[in-house]
Structure 1
Amino acid sequence: MNSSMLAVPLVLQIFIALFSSNPGVAANSKLFREYIGAEGKGVTFSDVPINQEVDFHFILSFAIDYTNSSSHPSSTNGDFRVYWDRENLSASHVSSIKTRHPNVKVAMSLGGDTINDKHVFFSPKTINSWVRNAFHSLTEISKQYHLDGIDIDYEHFHADPDTFAECIGQLLLFLKQNGVASFASIAPYNDDSVQPHYLALWRKYGHLIDYVNFQFYAYDNSTTISQFLQYFDEQNSNYRGGKVLVSFGTDGSGGLSPENGFFEACRRLKSDGKLHGIFVWSADDSKKDGFHYEKSSQTLLAK
């Protein structure tokens, strides 16, 4: 430390040290994430190729705060139950894949689109009661399945954005404070009924959210490389300071597909230091093609 720094108050020295590196310069990441278990197609963790040189997150889909009635599922106000493929993605399977691959972590995603072909709504009775129920039920699931993280993927709402922000924000705070979740992500997409809820959450509780799994496959399937990069910049601005991951679907959904330039777009983002990671929806759909694009994604990230 030089003599000029000695005259600077300690608090200011810490501030300078924290911000001496340029915070505006993004960093590439070797993070690969894949949703798994939502469609009951018998896919297992060991089916999916895992490159040892990437950070790999499986995201179990889904835990849902709904009853398991096949005819009339209804909201349970934060009392979550496991709806992923429990036979092929059991607690013992989670422990096994993490033991065999030290670079693997496993999270669970909350909500999703539908249950028994009916929309899953975020529908709390009160903020306090929902948070209390959610914390207790998710803690039990996390302990049972040896999970590391949490993902938020509600897509339909019976609550305003501020209520959503408070419920999810407080939940993330308690899960992290109590060591139930070591990381958290959200999965918004560009829709006027969806985006405002996640932006409200980001504005107040963004410091608790480690990754933004933005559903770029929700854009039109005619998306070009230049449009994709524009969409990325828009969402990077919306979730300023966050790690916005790029994505594609293997279920025939839209966006920029691997066949039409997704990896070229990733290479451009990587050259600009903006490739924070890649995620895929979903392993269930990729199994039939041998996970070809998962392999390519991880190779690109590992280079």
Structure 2
Amino acid sequence: NLFVEYIGSQFTGIKFTDVPINPRITDFQFVLSFAIDYTVSTPHTPTNGKFNVFWDSSNLGPSQVDAIKSSHNNVRVAVSLGGATVGGKSVQFQPSSIDSWVNNAVSSLTQIIQRYNLDGIDIDYENFQNTDPDTFAECIGRLITTLKRNRVINFASIAPFPDVEEYYLALWNRYKNVINHINFQFYAYDSSTTVRQFLKYYDTAVSKYRGGNVLISFSTERDAGGLTVDRGFFDAASILKKQGKLHGIAVWSADTSKSNGFRYDEEAQSFLVS
């Protein structure tokens, strides 16, 4: 009974209050997208762990976070780190050293998290041009561990997809004890994905992230990949639910869901509590 909604990356004027929130959902997580360790000035360049806000903070600011959490006791708000692009170029995970990156990341993220009254972080780095899996695992693992130990956050998730799994599996194998769930990007698969293939992909993910809570996911973007709602997503979800395998649903993202009145987001929540 966990529902995850990414929000804020596309600057569509989306607000927390636009999104329907089913009160029967035990844990509703908004994930602000994104905080990035790049400069806010153009051209955007890496900062070795000094994070800045790159989501639509004018509509999703500290007062709005406080308001949505106050009005819905099942809502928690996290921030996703990284993302695919910034300013039209790839966001690279590019630490100068493990120690310096972790120190900078802990400091800068603590300030952001406390300013916005956030509850957790999500890891969604997608490009690793100059970094090996061991370095990624140590940087992110130490970051999550420190933020939890300092009681800055109370949960952490990761958002892997097939092309980058060697990095996320290195992280998982070393630091699974501090990762609460996996928002696996099943929409990264081909748009021809069938229900049968989706179930196979899910079982593969579960076998790799052994012992973890793997969430299924779909995208509401136009021409989205993976198994979309109109091609049988809920058929696959029903099978997993009957098998006792369904841990929750993640949606990318509220920004694009707004155009269809959040029809599928609402349906996903209703499905989880049915």
Asked if Structure 1 and Structure 2 have the same fold, meaning a TM-score greater than 0.5 normalized by the shorter chain, the answer is yes
| 1:56 match | 28
Question: AA paired with 1:175?
Answer: L
Alpha-carbon distance, 1:68 to partner = 1.3
User: Percentage identity across aligned positions?
Assistant: 58
| 1:247 match | 217
Tell me if 1:273 matches 2:244.
yes
Structure index of larger Rg = 1
Alpha-carbon distance, 1:151 to partner = 0.2
2:49 pairs with one of 78, 98, 101: 78
Measured in 1, the distance between the counterparts of 2:220 and 2:265 equals 10
String of CA shifts for 1:53-82, please: whole Å, max 9, x gaps. 002000000000001123x21100000001
Q: CA RMSD in A?
A: 0.5
Measured in 2, the distance between the counterparts of 1:69 and 1:144 equals 21
Measured in 2, the distance between the counterparts of 1:197 and 1:114 equals 18
| 2:14 match | 43
Tell me if 1:302 matches 2:273.
yes
Tell me if 1:147 matches 2:118.
yes
Equivalences for 1:149-298 in 2 at 5 Å? 149-157=120-128, 158-191=130-163, 194-252=164-222, 253-298=224-269
Equivalences for 1:62-141 in 2 at 5 Å? 62-70=34-42, 72-141=43-112
Measured in 1, the distance between the counterparts of 2:109 and 2:40 equals 16
Normalising by structure 2, what TM-score? 0.98
Q: Point out 4+ residue stretches in structure 1 off by more than 3 angstroms.
A: none
SS at match of 1:60: strand
Measured in 2, the distance between the counterparts of 1:229 and 1:202 equals 22
Question: AA paired with 1:282?
Answer: S
Unaligned runs of 5+ in 2: none
Question: AA paired with 1:180?
Answer: V
Measured in 2, the distance between the counterparts of 1:234 and 1:207 equals 20
Measured in 2, the distance between the counterparts of 1:168 and 1:232 equals 24
Unaligned runs of 5+ in 1: 1-29
SS at match of 2:259: helix
Alpha-carbon distance, 1:144 to partner = 0.3
Aligned length: 271
Measured in 2, the distance between the counterparts of 1:301 and 1:145 equals 28
Measured in 1, the distance between the counterparts of 2:14 and 2:76 equals 17
String of CA shifts for 1:72-112, please: whole Å, max 9, x gaps. 21100000001100110000000000000000000000000
Measured in 2, the distance between the counterparts of 1:288 and 1:200 equals 38
SS at match of 1:184: strand
